[in-house]
């Protein structure tokens, strides 16, 4: 960059008399020059310490030559083969913007004393910038936390059959709300209702976008402007500060707490029922346990009480499961089938937790009560799209073959995975991780305790195995840097820090080859 005069167009430089180049003059000129401002003839009258000496702007331009003089222009870079490839992939306007942004960054670096990159490096930087900008925000990760149903990591992974069903539903028009045989409009619930009824023993079923929405819809349908007696010990709070009392308030009903935190009796519910009672709700405490001197009312007794008072009885199971967990060595978890047998009018549970399906709030119950729910205007606002319905239907079809259920549903496969199998995986990939550490940390096999996650059986863990990675510089900084390095892999690996050690629990790792292949990209601190 040279000193420019945008106002004067003389071929030769402007003669300036009596310029004495002391430090202050030089500093002034260089400042104007670097920031790219024009210097006009009349500006030199303000320069201090002028003396009788002829000097030209062209001479001064050479003396104060800019470090940015060799920076290529946007137009020249756009004519290169690399830019042509960028344009072909991303479009001319995005490629131009990426080059311009890259040049701006380089100017800042060079003016701060950094080196000027060559043309190849500049275009490489622009391509990287454009790739990062266009990369999807939602990315696959390796869940090595030991929490199978990790809410922050998307909960249940879908079976291949469900993935194929989603792709098919998304690819073309479908009979989402159309009865092909009759040539008439249908209802989207028809694609999953019979499956849910067959599995749960319910008369009817519907779905919404998650279980929180299911609970809100039930409350709003049956208790708008009315009271809902609920045991004080069941007023749960789940992730994201979601609280049952708040949901009740937003649903337009009034919570009536009955009993105490640890003990609630049938008489407590009976005493709370009055002319303003809309329904009774029982909530499964899926994410905590009340132990010790406790008492709760059994579901059949609550169902009988509700029938006597002609009010609905609803049960929120939270996670919900359609298979017995004892086959995985886990304690019993209440099922929708049991809730229906115990006399519930309406039961709500999740689709993307122990069921192993997509995010959905599933509502099953008697025909009359489900019909009332469908008529609620909120139902349309909370309804599921065609991809969710396709995925859920595909997952439910797998439950028709219980002998192969564990093999085909990733969530159940992870829960049922033998610890010896996980330990063998640790032995296979441990040496690759140790080599990637390059002396930064020590890698050892370790026993782990996995958990289900998403509120299911919060006090129980599952024996597992993994790798413990301990930085030789055993500091918090080194440990955090190690965890960050694994998160910065092309497919981020998310572990957990425990007892001054970075733990990779391998229960959910199935793609060993893909995981180890990217370890060469591990960028550890010096």
Backbone angles phi, psi at 508, to 5 degrees: -95, 5
Residues facing residue 277 across a β-bridge: 227
* Beta-strand pair 242-243/237-238: antiparallel
* Beta-strand pair 313-316/204-208: unpaired
Q: For the chain, give every residue range classified as CATH 3.40.640.10.
A: 189-408
- Minimal CA–CA distance to 373: which of 351, 348, 349, 399? 348
Is residue 349 helix, strand or coil? strand
* N-term to C-term CA, the chain: 38
In degrees, to the nearest 5, what angle opens at C-alpha 98 toward C-alphas 92 and 100? Answer: 100
Question: What is the number of other CB atoms lying within 10 angstroms of the CB of residue 206?
Answer: 25
Do 217 and 363 contact (CB within 8 A), yes or no? Answer: yes
Four-point Cα dihedral 101, 102, 103, 107, nearest 10: 100
- Residue 222 has which token pair? 């049956």
Do 296 and 264 contact (CB within 8 A), yes or no? Answer: yes
Tell me the C-alpha distance between 62 and 309, whole Å.
97
- Residue 438 has which token pair? 């390059």
Give all strands (DSSP E) within 101-209, no chain letters: 142-143, 178-179, 184-185, 204-208
Q: For the chain, give every residue range classified as CATH 3.90.1150.180.
A: 416-521
- Minimal CA–CA distance to 257: which of 236, 288, 284, 240? 236
Tell me the C-alpha distance between 311 and 294, whole Å.
27
Tell me the C-alpha distance between 181 and 245, whole Å.
46
Report the number of secondary-structure helices (H) and strands (E) in the chain: 21, 17
Question: What is the number of other CB atoms lying within 10 angstroms of the CB of residue 35?
Answer: 10
Backbone angles phi, psi at 249, to 5 degrees: -65, -45
Which residue bears the tokens 């479009």? 91
Pinpoint the alpha helices (H) of 399-445: 405-408, 410-416, 419-437
Do 416 and 450 contact (CB within 8 A), yes or no? Answer: no
Is residue 51 helix, strand or coil? coil
Question: What is the number of other CB atoms lying within 10 angstroms of the CB of residue 145?
Answer: 22
Tell me the C-alpha distance between 429 and 511, whole Å.
11
Tell me the C-alpha distance between 509 and 507, whole Å.
6
- Minimal CA–CA distance to 484: which of 455, 522, 511, 451? 522
Specify the CATH number of the domain 416-521.
3.90.1150.180
Question: What is the number of other CB atoms lying within 10 angstroms of the CB of residue 521?
Answer: 12
Tell me the C-alpha distance between 6 and 123, whole Å.
31
In degrees, to the nearest 5, what angle opens at C-alpha 118 toward C-alphas 30 and 113? Answer: 35
Q: pLDDT under 70 in the chain at which residues?
A: 1-65, 239-241, 459
Residues facing residue 243 across a β-bridge: 237
113 DSSP assignment: T
Tell me the C-alpha distance between 259 and 243, whole Å.
19
Q: CATH 3.40.640.10: does it fit domain 189-408? A: yes
């Amino acid at each position: 960059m040279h000193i420019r005069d945008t106002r004067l167009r003389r071929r030769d430089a402007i003669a300036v008399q009596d310029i004495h180049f002391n430090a202050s003059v030089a500093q002034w000129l260089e400042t104007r020059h670097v920031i790219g401002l024009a210097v006009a003839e009349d500006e030199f009258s303000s320069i201090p310490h002028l003396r009788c000496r002829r000097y030209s702007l062209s001479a001064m331009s050479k003396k104060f030559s800019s470090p940015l003089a060799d920076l290529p222009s946007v137009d020249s870079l756009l004519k290169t083969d690399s830019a042509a490839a960028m344009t072909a992939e991303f479009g001319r306007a995005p490629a131009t913007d990426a080059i311009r942004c890259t040049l701006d960054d380089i100017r800042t670096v060079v003016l701060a004393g950094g080196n000027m990159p060559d043309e190849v490096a500049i275009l490489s930087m622009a391509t990287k910038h454009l790739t990062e900008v266009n990369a999807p925000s939602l990315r696959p990760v390796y869940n090595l936390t030991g929490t199978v149903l990790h809410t922050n990591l998307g909960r249940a992974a879908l079976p291949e059959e469900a993935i194929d069903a989603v792709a098919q539903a998304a690819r073309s028009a479908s009979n989402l709300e159309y009865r092909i045989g009759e040539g008439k409009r249908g209802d989207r619930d028809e694609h999953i209702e019979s499956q849910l009824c067959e599995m749960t023993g319910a008369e009817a079923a519907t779905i919404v976008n998650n279980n929180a929405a299911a609970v809100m819809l039930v409350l709003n349908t049956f208790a708008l402007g009315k009271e809902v007696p609920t045991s004080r010990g069941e007023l749960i709070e789940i992730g994201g500060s979601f609280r049952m009392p708040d949901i009740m308030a937003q649903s337009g009903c009034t919570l009536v707490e009955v009993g105490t935190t640890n003990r609630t009796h049938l008489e407590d519910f009976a005493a709370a029922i009055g002319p303003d009672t809309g329904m009774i709700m029982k909530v499964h405490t899926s994410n905590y346990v009340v132990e010790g001197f406790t008492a709760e009312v059994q579901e059949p007794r609550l169902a009988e009480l509700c029938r006597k008072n002609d009010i609905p009885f609803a049960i929120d199971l939270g996670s919900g499961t359609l298979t017995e967990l004892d086959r995985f060595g886990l304690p019993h978890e209440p099922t929708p089938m049991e809730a229906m047998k115990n006399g519930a009018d309406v039961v709500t549970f999740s689709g993307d937790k122990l069921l192993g399906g997509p995010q959905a709030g599933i509502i099953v119950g008697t025909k009359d009560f489900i019909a009332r729910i469908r008529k609620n205007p909120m139902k349309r606002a909370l309804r599921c799209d065609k991809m969710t319905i396709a995925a859920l239907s595909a997952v439910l079809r797998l439950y028709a073959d219980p002998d192969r259920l564990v093999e085909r549903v990733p969530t159940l496969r992870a829960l049922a995975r033998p610890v010896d199998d996980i330990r063998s995986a640790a032995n296979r990939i441990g040496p690759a991780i140790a080599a990637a550490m390059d002396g930064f940390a020590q890698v050892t096999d370790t026993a782990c305790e996995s958990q289900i996650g998403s509120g299911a059986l919060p006090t129980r863990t599952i024996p597992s195995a993994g790798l413990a990675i301990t930085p030789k510089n055993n500091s918090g900084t080194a440990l955090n840097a190690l965890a960050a390095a694994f998160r910065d892999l092309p497919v981020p690996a998310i572990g957990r820090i425990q007892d001054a050690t970075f733990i990779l629990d391998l229960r959910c790792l199935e793609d060993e080859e893909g995981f180890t292949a990217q370890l060469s990209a591990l960028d550890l601190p010096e």
